Amino acid sequence: MPEPIVFVLDVAPADAAEPASGWESTVRRVPADEPIVRGTDLAATRGDGVFETLGVLEGCPQAVDAHFWRLANSAGLLELPAPNLEQWRVAMRLAGAALPIDRQGGIKLVLSRGVEGANRPTGWLIATVAEDDFANRTDGWKVVTLDRGYRHDLSEHAPWLLPGAKTLSYAVNMATLREAARRGADNAIYVSSDGYVMEAPQSSVLLRRGDTLVTPKTDIGILPGTTQLSAFALAQEWGFATEDRLVPSGELLDSDGVWLLSSVKLATPITAVDGQPIAVDREFSDRLNAGLLARRE
C-alpha cells in the first residue's frame, strides 16, 4: 500500500491576509513517518477537533465548497477558531496534486484545538490512494439498523451534544461498524429512538420512491451529506424530484432502492436491511455512480 502523503499547516486565522510569499509558504509536506502531533494536542488526548474527507478523481478534489462549508460549520459548533478557507483550499490543492492522476483517492483535512493551554489550533492533511476496488458500488452491502440512543429532535433540546458536527471523536462510529460486523452485516444505519432514519457511521442515506429521491433532513442531528448534495443535483438534471424530510424507519423496507453515499466509496446500493432482502435498482445505481465519477469540481 502506498504511503500516505502528509502536509502540515501553520494555521492562520480566518481573517488573515495572504502572506506576501503566498499561502503555499504556510503549508509544509512532511515524510509520512515524521511525528506531527504532540502528545498534549487535544486532538490526541480528547478528540477535540474536526475533520473532513474529500474524494479525489484524476487529481481533482470533489465537492470542495460543500466540504469547506461543513468544516467551518463543525468548527463553529465546537467553538474552534474559524478556519481560513483560502489557506485550506491551497493546502488541499497541493495534496490533490501529489496523488497519482490515474488513481482514485482521498484527502482528510484535520483541524484540532491544538496543544492544551497554547490557544493555537493545529492542522494537517493526509492524502491517500484508494486501494479499494469499489466492489461495493456493484455488489452492494447488507446493513443492520441500530438505535442512535436519542430522539430525532436532539438538536433542538441538547445542542451541547454537538449533533451535526464532524468531530474527531469517532469511537462510537467505529464501535458501530464492529457491531454491524458481529451481526453479519457490512454496515449500519442509525435510527433515532423514536423510529426515524438518520445516517450511517460514515455515510448519508438515500432512498428512491418512484420518481422521487429522499434523504433524511439534517436538522435531526446528522451531517449534511456532500455526496448526497451531488446526487440530488444529478437527479434533478435527470427529471427526478428530491425531498429531505423525516423518514420513518419502515421506509427502508418499502422503497424502490436504498443507498449509502460517501465521498470516496460514492453510492453503495443496499441489498438487505436487518436480514430482509430489499429491491436493488441496478440501472439507477450504475447511472448514479457514473454521474458522480464524472464530476470535476
Q: Give one word for 117, left, alpha or beta, with left for phi > 0 and alpha for psi -120 to 50.
A: left
Angle at 87 between CA 81 and CA 91, to 5 degrees: 120
Mean pLDDT of the region 78-103: 94
**pLDDT interval class at 75 (50, 70, 90):** very high
Give the mean pLDDT of the chain: 95
pTM for this predicted structure: 0.94
**Do strands 266-273 and 276-277 pair parallel, antiparallel, or not at all (unpaired)?**
antiparallel
- Grid cell, residue 230, equals 451531488
Average pLDDT over residues 146-160: 91
Please give the C-alpha separations between residue 9 and each of 16, 109, 145, 202, 236, in angstroms, as whole numbers: 14, 10, 39, 25, 38
Would you say 284 and 208 are in contact if contact means Cβ atoms under 8 Å apart?
yes
- C-alpha grid cell, residue 22: 503566498
Please report, for residues 71, 158, 169, the alpha-carbon distance to residue 161 in angstroms, rounded to integers and kept in the order given. 17, 6, 12
Work out the average pLDDT over 106-112: 97
Q: What is the pLDDT of residues 253-280, one digit of tens each?
A: 999 999 999 999 999 999 999 999 998 9
- In the predicted structure, residue 190 carries a pLDDT above the cut 80: yes
Q: Residue 2 pLDDT > 90, yes or no? A: no
Domains of the chain with CATH codes: 5-129 (3.30.470.10), 136-293 (3.20.10.10)
pLDDT of 1: 65
DSSP-derived 3-state class of residue 122: strand
Which residue blocks in 100-225 are alpha helix, DSSP H? 136-139, 154-157, 171-182
Distances (CA, A) of 67 to 3, 93, 170, 228, 296: 24, 14, 18, 12, 15
pLDDT at 132: 81
Average pLDDT over residues 21-36: 96
Three-state secondary structure call for residue 223: coil
pLDDT at 296 over 80: no
Q: Is the pLDDT of residue 68 over 80?
A: yes
Given this model, what pLDDT does residue 271 score? Answer: 98
Range with the lowest mean pLDDT among 17-21, 110-114, 155-159? 155-159
What is the pLDDT at residue 213?
98
Given a contact cutoff of 8 angstroms between Cβ atoms, the answer to whether 200 and 174 are in contact is: no
The per-residue pLDDT for range 118-151, each reduced to its tens digit, is 999 999 999 999 888 899 999 999 999 999 999 9
The DSSP output letter for 252 is G
pLDDT value of residue 163:
87
297 confidence band (pLDDT: 50, 70, 90):
low
Residue-level pLDDT at 131: 81
Give the total residue count for the chain: 297
Q: What is the DSSP-derived secondary structure letter of residue 41?
A: B
